[in-house]
Amino acid sequence: MHRRETERVRHVRRELVEHVARAVREDGAVDLPGGLRLRRASSPTEPDHGVSSPALCVVAQGAKEVWLGDELYRYDADHYLVTAAALPIASRITEASEERPYLGVVLDLDPALIGSVMVEAGHAVSGERAVRAFDVSPLDGGLLDAVVRLLRLLEEPEEARFLRPLVVREIVFRLLRGDQGARLRQIAIRDGHAHRIARAMERLREDLARPLRVEEIARELGMSTSSFHHHFKAVTAMSPLQFQKRLRLQEARRLMLGEGLDAAGAARRVGYRDPSHFSRDYRRLFGEPPARDVERLREAAMEPAGL
């Protein structure tokens, strides 16, 4: 029985690789209906800084690393990652080649859908303690099979309209029952510390350029300053100040690349008063001074695809 199950899982893994490879035939990412994104890469990548969103991440082939604060998460075809919040992260593909390209699957997780499945499945919807917003777990056969069935529907558009929502609900159900259940419930919960920290993160994103007033935010959330610090770090792996700093630097990078601002102008827009302080923080996060980093990114964007 065990040998048959092992062979069945191996067959399903091969099918997952085939579906992703057919859907994404060249390096890059494809957005598909239902919050599904597929990615292909024929070589390892440099760290890519961005903001996560609640999602399930599965690797069909290859491997990937994600940094959250100073913590590193690695996952591959034997593991999946769940992210439960919008957090500043850095990620890179570590295993990929022309012969065996990296093939990845990301499924957005809708809080309303998770809440609906929780109610139907009889899961408690309150009283959860705040847990880290990222984690990696072994990918079991049941969850793998559901992900493959979701991808099969890419080739059956008539069936997909009816079956896709059912398969996504099954995936959410399996996640709730698995190692990541508490993390998934944190996405849907509307009270308790997890929701308060989510509100704080949204406040920091909206008021990016304002000086950080931790005591004020904690008071608005009905928490003591020490409790707010503790629960914020439990979810994000960062202090509120580190979280704000990373968001500011990522936004400054976007402003320089997308809107043509110079380093001083971008620094002012995101709340830095001292340009030299901004340059030091920027280099510490991205590895190069602002002007040199932006020039490198622009040159890379102009390179022909596939080179």
Residues 136-148 have a mean pLDDT of: 94
Q: What is the pLDDT of residues 149-178, one digit of tens each?
A: 999 999 888 888 889 999 999 999 999 998
Q: What is the pLDDT of residues 277-305, one digit of tens each?
A: 999 999 999 999 999 999 988 887 776 54
Nearest to 87 by CA among 73, 105, 102: 73
Q: What is the pTM of this model?
A: 0.78
Q: How far is CA 14 from the centre of its chain?
A: 25
Rg (CA), the chain: 21
Q: What is the pLDDT of residues 84-104, one digit of tens each?
A: 888 899 999 999 999 999 999
